[in-house]
Structure 1
Amino acid sequence: MTGSHKARTGRRSDEPARGRGRKRSKTRIAAAITLSVLVLLVAGTGWIYLQLNGNITTFGADGVSQDRPGSGAGGSNVLVIGSDSRSGGNSKLGGGEGDVGRSDTAFLLHVYGDDKHAVAVSFPRDTLVDIPPCKLPSGSWTQPQHNAMFNSAFTVGQTAKGNPACTQNTVEKLTGLRVDHTVVVDFEGFSKMTSAVGGVPVCVPKDVYQGDLNPHRGSRGKVIFGKGPQTVSGQKALDYVRLRHGIGDGSDIGRIKRQQAFVSSLIKKIKSQGVNPSALLPLANAATESMTVDPGLGSANKLISFAMSMKDIDLHNTKFITLPWRYQGARVAIVHSEADALWAALRADRTIDGTDASGKSKHGTKVDDGKSGAAASPSPGASVSGAAVYNGTTVTGLAARAADDLKTSGFTVTGTATGSTQDHATTLITYGPGQEAQAHTVARLFPGADIQKATAPGISVTLGQSYADHPAPSASASSSDVPSDVADKARSADDNPCSNLSYG
């Protein structure tokens, strides 16, 4: 019995040991599973980054002008271009004919230094602008163009992918703002992005027919958009943002208003989904698949980092405005007094309601929040040592008039004289080494002026006929406040999607 008892005792004493072994075995299995999952996650993340990197196309930085504006008070500027290239998968999505990439949509997004405000300024495609020298596929550079349509800059070189560097050069010349990044999105990429987020809520002010989308159809056709709120994606979303006829006066200005409302809704939809990988990864894949960017955004890491820098900008502080404009025949002319005040505000990193949004001063200290009413940017004369004024026209007394305008606005004038030639159509401002920022400050009083670097020190202003025809807007151009006529027309990303959808 004793032996039997020992035997039984031995078996019982062994059971806990086997239990501990099973526990250790389960722990090892759990650890192995956890490690495997981590490896898969890391590998999966790496695969995602490789896939996104493989999607991204960059354009050459060698086409960007060497004569560029300096940095402003803060923030960053991103030029976004919508391309209607018919190359690749874009051909089946409709639009114009031919294999030359064109741009019907463009806006400059200014992200303020506090990372809590942003404003997008839309450029009407028919705006008359000066296009600076641009690089051709052959390697040569074009001659400057005067009074050319804004969207023609993208077609310089007549390539299927367009010329984003030329559009960037044009925007920098027009605004005096340094473009930090340029992004081109084509039809296919846009269509896929709207599908990736599950559709975008929009509103249509009236019934829209097939003939409105395609005026060459010859008949009204069926209703493609019923009046009122609806959700669109893919081809339907593309048709919505391209639609111009049948609403308002059928102008590009009205279409811009609907495009701004669409982008607002898209931002709102993305933010509502939160940081959700199941939603964000398809969106990132769709966005990068048909996107062309400058080398500074040429990797998934850089793009994601830039996108994350805007995560704290709320909808109400995301604004959309249109470049101040007026009709000039069938084209659009810039209202320079208002436009120059807008560019000055963005260079000073002030919002359209006059708030300093630079976040910090150059010395790293917190700046005034704008509530005290104190000006955050220095007076123009404080940053310009002096300018010489020359009359480049046959208009008597023009140099003295310009000198008075400069003095009234706080500038120092070192002298006036007759120019070496009197056939200047456009005012020319030249600057010496290290004085580019000063030249752009002076240029606020001379809308449309050419700005060129010179070897001799100092700032000189050679007046053109454009100044004789349109005198300086006096001190208003040196202000860093956006004119109320521009600010009051702004759309916020949280506005009602059915409001302010058409012009005319």
Structure 2
Amino acid sequence: MAGSHKARGGHGGDRPVSGRRRKRSRARIAAALTLSILVLLVAGTGWVYLQLNGSITTFGADGVSQDRPTSGVGGSDVLVIGSDSRSGDNSKLGGGEGDVGRSDTAFLLHVYGDSKHAVAVSIPRDALVDIPPCKLPSGSWTRSQHNVMFNSAFSVGQTAKGNPACAQNTVEKLTGLRVDHTVVVDFEGFSKITSAVGGVSVCLPKDVYQGDLNPNRGSRGKVLLTKGTHPVAGQQALDYVRLRHGIGDGSDIGRIKRQQAFVSSLIKKVKSQDMSPSALLPLANAATESMTVDPGLGSADKLISFVMSMKDIDLHNTKFITLPWRYQGARVAIVHPEADALWAALRADRTVDGKDASGKSKQGTKDDGGSDGPTDVPSRRASVPGRGVRVAVYNGTTVPGLAARAADDLKASGFSVTVTATASSQGHAATVIRYGPGQGGRARPLARLLPGAEVQQVTASGISVTLGKSYADHPALGVAASSGVPSEVAGKTRSADDGPCSNLSYG
């Protein structure tokens, strides 16, 4: 009986035991569900990374010049190239013939050290520049080319994928800025990106026909784009940014303005959208599937990290400007010293209106990225590595004592001045820095100290400076950087928060 009682008592005690088991069971189920969700999340994230990684194409870094500018005061520089190659899926998107990669548009994006400002400088495709030696598919290197169109650099080697490294070398030679990353987007990628964001607003003064896009058609054809302000995506977006002859004077400069307006609208649209993974994945897929990047951006985590570094730049502080230019016959000549002042400002991490956006105060601490004060000359001097660098200084103007004055400035930065003398001619407008083989890395920092300086490679050994009127007008170190760029250039700047119809001349 007692045993029966214990058994009953034991049975009678089942209820609390069963409750505990149910609680443990629920806990196990909850833990299993949580674990399953975590596994799915991790697996999903891994799948996304694998998918993005598998879509990213890189170009070889072996074609990048070994003779490169040193890093600037702060910030980073990214060369963005729009390729109009008609190979692969691009062939169905129209325009042009052949499968040689060509640079249809290009801009240098400077992201300032404070991570709160950025400026994109458009480089006209017809701008006359010097192209340094570039690597061919065979492994050999070309000779330097003088006074040729900028877009021909991307076509060196005549391959369907183009030559991003050659374009990067050319931009570094042109600007004196070290290009940290290069990104190439082709027709197909551009079309997909605009569709992924649901369209981008554009502004048109009139209807655009097939004949406007292709003047060789012989007839107006169908309407491609209608008058007014409205969103475009896919093929229509591509037609808009490629349009040259249908609006305004038919110039490439006019098209650059419309492209700047388009990219502004694209940035605005992306920032206005939900930033959840589900919303960003189609855009990320569209971007990576048709992009070619340098090895430094060749993985999903590197690419995402780079994009996230720009998340705090607001629309108003995202600027667009065109490299100062003038027509030279059917081509475009770069205007000096205005262009020199622009590059000098970027090298010093100053905005086009002269504000310090390096993110560092005069004491080297973080500031608000928008100081209006002049550049701190001692800190500017300290940022330029002059120790052990020997320089000959020549006065290329009629201003007496200019070489000696410049020599004192250079010595304050640690440079060793071997000669101060009068140049063979005294009519120099711009200061010219010349350097021999293998001396580019030592010579280019001088451009950060000498307002409006041009940098040229020559066959003679050593480094020399021929001072021009630009230095005579602004002899103090840091003047070019602290004053930004000329007002007539800065006045043509566009902000990403401008409307799609603002600051457009339609050519």
Q: 1:386 to 1:370 in 2, by over 3 A?
A: farther
**1:312 paired residue number:** 312
CA shift, 1:163, in A, is 0.4
1:475 partnered with 2:473:
yes
**2:498 paired residue number:** 495
Residue range with higher mean Cα deviation, 205-214 or 133-142: 205-214
Letter aligned with residue 434 of structure 2: I
Deviations 1:300-339 (A, max 9, x none): 1100000000000000000000000011111111112110
Q: 1:206 to 1:316 in 2, by over 3 A?
A: same
Q: 1:74 to 1:162 in 2, by over 3 A?
A: same
Deviations 1:103-132 (A, max 9, x none): 110000000000000000001100011111
CA shift, 1:248, in A, is 1.2
Separation in 2, partners of 1:20, 1:136:
75
Separation in 1, partners of 2:33, 2:155:
56
**Contact 2:317 / 2:495 at 8 angstroms: preserved in 1?**
yes
Separation in 1, partners of 2:279, 2:474:
47
Aligned to 2:442, which of 435, 438, 444?
435
Separation in 2, partners of 1:98, 1:208:
26
TM-score (norm 2): 0.86
Separation in 2, partners of 1:444, 1:79:
24
Deviations 1:133-179 (A, max 9, x none): 11111111111111100000000000000000010011000000000
1:486 partnered with 2:486:
no
Letter aligned with residue 421 of structure 2: T
CA shift, 1:474, in A, is 4.3
Aligned to 2:420, which of 411, 415, 421?
415
1:47 partnered with 2:52:
no
CA shift, 1:440, in A, is 2.8
Q: 1:142 to 1:402 in 2, by over 3 A?
A: farther
Letter aligned with residue 306 of structure 1: F
**1:239 paired residue number:** 239
Q: Percent identity?
A: 73
Residue range with higher mean Cα deviation, 272-281 or 432-441: 432-441
**2:134 paired residue number:** 134
Q: 1:9 to 1:247 in 2, by over 3 A?
A: same
Letter aligned with residue 287 of structure 2: A
Give the 5 Å matches for 1:328-407. 328-360=328-360, 364-366=364-366, 371=371, 373-377=373-377, 387-389=391-393, 399=396, 401=398
**Contact 2:358 / 2:369 at 8 angstroms: preserved in 1?**
no
CA shift, 1:26, in A, is 2.1
Give the 5 Å matches for 1:164-203. 164-203=164-203
Residue range with higher mean Cα deviation, 7-16 or 47-56: 7-16
**Contact 1:433 / 1:455 at 8 angstroms: preserved in 2?**
no
Give the 5 Å matches for 1:140-159. 140-159=140-159
Separation in 2, partners of 1:403, 1:389:
14
User: Counterpart of 1:435 in 2: which secondary structure?
Assistant: helix
Letter aligned with residue 482 of structure 1: V
Q: 1:37 to 1:241 in 2, by over 3 A?
A: same
Separation in 1, partners of 2:130, 2:400:
25
Residue range with higher mean Cα deviation, 306-315 or 222-231: 222-231
**Contact 2:185 / 2:290 at 8 angstroms: preserved in 1?**
yes
**Contact 2:124 / 2:332 at 8 angstroms: preserved in 1?**
yes
User: Counterpart of 1:154 in 2: which secondary structure?
Assistant: coil
Letter aligned with residue 215 of structure 2: P
CA shift, 1:232, in A, is 1.1
Separation in 1, partners of 2:83, 2:401:
45
Give the 5 Å matches for 1:178-327. 178-327=178-327
Separation in 1, partners of 2:368, 2:317:
18
Equivalent pairs counted in the alignment come to: 481
CA shift, 1:438, in A, is 4.0
Letter aligned with residue 485 of structure 1: E
**Contact 1:205 / 1:501 at 8 angstroms: preserved in 2?**
no
CA shift, 1:482, in A, is 1.3
Query: Structure 2, unaligned stretches of length 5 or more?
Result: 411-416, 425-430
Letter aligned with residue 313 of structure 1: I
Separation in 1, partners of 2:21, 2:381:
83
**Contact 2:258 / 2:506 at 8 angstroms: preserved in 1?**
no
Residue range with higher mean Cα deviation, 4-13 or 49-58: 4-13
Q: 1:85 to 1:434 in 2, by over 3 A?
A: closer
Separation in 1, partners of 2:440, 2:198:
53
User: Counterpart of 2:434 in 1: which secondary structure?
Assistant: strand
**Contact 1:319 / 1:491 at 8 angstroms: preserved in 2?**
yes
**Contact 1:356 / 1:368 at 8 angstroms: preserved in 2?**
no
Q: 1:501 to 1:111 in 2, by over 3 A?
A: same
Separation in 2, partners of 1:276, 1:183:
24
User: Counterpart of 1:173 in 2: which secondary structure?
Assistant: helix
**1:394 paired residue number:** none
**Contact 1:253 / 1:503 at 8 angstroms: preserved in 2?**
no
CA shift, 1:94, in A, is 1.0
Q: 1:433 to 1:209 in 2, by over 3 A?
A: closer
Q: 1:140 to 1:181 in 2, by over 3 A?
A: same
CA shift, 1:209, in A, is 1.4
CA shift, 1:12, in A, is 6.0
**Contact 1:350 / 1:357 at 8 angstroms: preserved in 2?**
yes
CA shift, 1:207, in A, is 1.7
**1:451 paired residue number:** 457
CA shift, 1:93, in A, is 0.9
CA shift, 1:489, in A, is 0.7
TM-score (norm 1): 0.87
**Contact 1:389 / 1:460 at 8 angstroms: preserved in 2?**
yes
Separation in 2, partners of 1:176, 1:301:
29
Q: 1:33 to 1:123 in 2, by over 3 A?
A: same
